[in-house]
Amino acid sequence: MQVAHKAMAAAVAALWGGNFVAAKLALGAWPPFLLLGIRFVLVALMLSPLLFLRPRPKHMKQVLLLSFMLGTLHFSLMFGGIWAGLDVSSGIIATQLGVPFSCLLGSIVFGERIGRWRSLGMLVAFIGIFVIAGTPQIGEKFWQFGISCMAAFAWALSNAVMKRMGEVDIMQLLAWISVLCLPQYALLTLLFDHDHWALITAAPWQIWAALGYTALFSTIVAYGMWYWLLGRFPVSHIAPYQMLVPVFGLAIAQYFFSEPLSAQFLIGGALTLLGVGIIIVRQPRFGVLTKS
């Protein structure tokens, strides 16, 4: 990989890390179902040519399942935890559990051998989460933290579904997931949200900018660059850059929100990221499907 390619991989990690902060800003004005519904409308519109210019994916039942597990369940839980008051830093670390959860599901569903190194990585990651769970900031927001951990498990389930699908055109898959998510979010926001038009028209330009960031930069631009790199270099060269996502996310969150980070939180976060890093290095395909 040349320096330009490494910089591109790092830029993707920065875009995905910034997605958590953009979500927090947008959630200050809109509830998660309304926000995510608008987000997927924008993504579907921007990727609409892929719906008509290419044949439908072969595994539409799995695509529909992905639209629920990844598009609706994962993102609703991830954004919902932050909307309910969880600090962005804790949400970022909690979602990293998707990698050890995927490793565990791979063993259960596909009979994969975990091995000593990945077993160690799982143990270290979960110990780190337990350390974070004992911090005062989580003690006050324990159920919100639990929701974010559930979002990581939903991502792991999505990873298992994608593995069964085999090779896919990721951008076309994103287009179909976005379209299939729309009726799901329409129902959810009609059931649980109120004053939709007032919320939309009252939102300042900063909220729309944050929403545009999550739809355009953290989804279309970032995924496009990531899979361009994966098409030219071995996964083992690209996947480790996924470890920069929480690093950038935590740094950007500190810049915007100055969230307090105790020594216990930092130790727990470091252990979690160390465990996740061990798993990714030993089985780098976990970097293929991201959590943003």
Q: Tens digits of per-residue pLDDT, 82-113?
A: 999 899 999 999 988 888 888 888 888 777 77
Residue 206 lies in a domain: yes
Q: Which two tokens stand for residue 237?
A: 């060269």
**Of the candidate ranges 35-44, 52-61, 80-89, the one whose mean pLDDT is the lowest:** 52-61
Q: Choose between 236 and 186: higher pLDDT.
A: 186
Task: Find how far residue 285's CA is from the centre of its chain.
Answer: 16
Q: What DSSP line would sit under 197-255, residue for residue? A: HHHHHH--HHHHHHHHIIIIIIIIIHHHHHHHHHTTS-HHHHGGGGGHHHHHHHHHHHH
| pLDDT above 70: residue 289 | no
Residue 204 within any structural domain of the chain: yes
The pLDDT value given to residue 271: 93
Q: What letter represents residue 101's amino acid?
A: F
Range of the domain at 175: 3-287
Residue 243's Cα: distance from chain center in Å?
13
Quick one: three-class SS letters along 145-180? HHHHHHHHHHHHHHHHHHHHHCCCCHHHHHHHHHHH
Is the pLDDT at 210 greater than 60? The verdict is yes
* 69 part of a folded domain: yes
Taking the whole predicted model, whether its pTM rises above 0.85 is answered as yes
In this prediction, residue 206 carries a pLDDT of 92
Alpha carbon distance 126, 118 (integer Å): 12
Q: How far from 158 is each of 42, 123, 126, 145, 272, CA to CA, in Å?
A: 22, 22, 20, 20, 21
pLDDT at 292: 56
Over range 44-64, report the average pLDDT: 86
pLDDT, position 285: 58
43 in a domain, yes or no? yes
Residue 35 maps to a domain = yes
* Residue 292 forms part of a structural domain: no
Total domain count, the chain: 1
pLDDT tens figures, 151-209: 999 988 888 888 777 777 888 889 999 999 999 999 999 999 989 999 999 999 999 99
pLDDT tens track for 56-72: 878 888 899 999 999 99
Can you tell me the mean pLDDT for 39-65? 88
Report yes or no on 149 lying in a domain. yes
